[in-house]
Amino acid sequence: MPCKSPDEVIRTATEFLQGKDFGKYNFAFNNCEDFTSYCKTGLRLCSQRESFVRTVRLLPTPGTGLVSTRSFKSLWG
């Protein structure tokens, strides 16, 4: 994945810290890892969230014994 230059990363982060809105913090969908990956690559990525999603998909659906195919967002309403 292509990354921005260090100067560009600092410039992007500084813009957000000086008032540009990155959105309301949300541990599941807009967290510190999303912020740092966005500053570095331009993409909101969170490996911790992706790992959690893979784990949840392996859990049995209650009452059925079947593996869940629920999406991550459906878990949070």
Q: What pLDDT score does 21 carry?
A: 86
Per-residue pLDDT reduced to its tens digit, 3-30: 999 999 999 999 998 988 888 888 888 8
1 domain residue, yes or no: no
Residue 44 belongs to domain spanning:
6-75
51 domain residue, yes or no: yes
The count of structural domains within the chain is: 1
15 domain residue, yes or no: yes
Report CA-CA distances (Å) from 70 to 36, 53, 74: 28, 9, 7
Q: What pLDDT score does 70 carry?
A: 54
24 domain residue, yes or no: yes
64 domain residue, yes or no: yes
Region 43-63: what's the mean pLDDT? 78
Opening angle at CA 37, ends 74 and 33, nearest 5: 55
Region 56-72: what's the mean pLDDT? 63
Identify the residue with better confidence: 66 or 58. Answer: 58
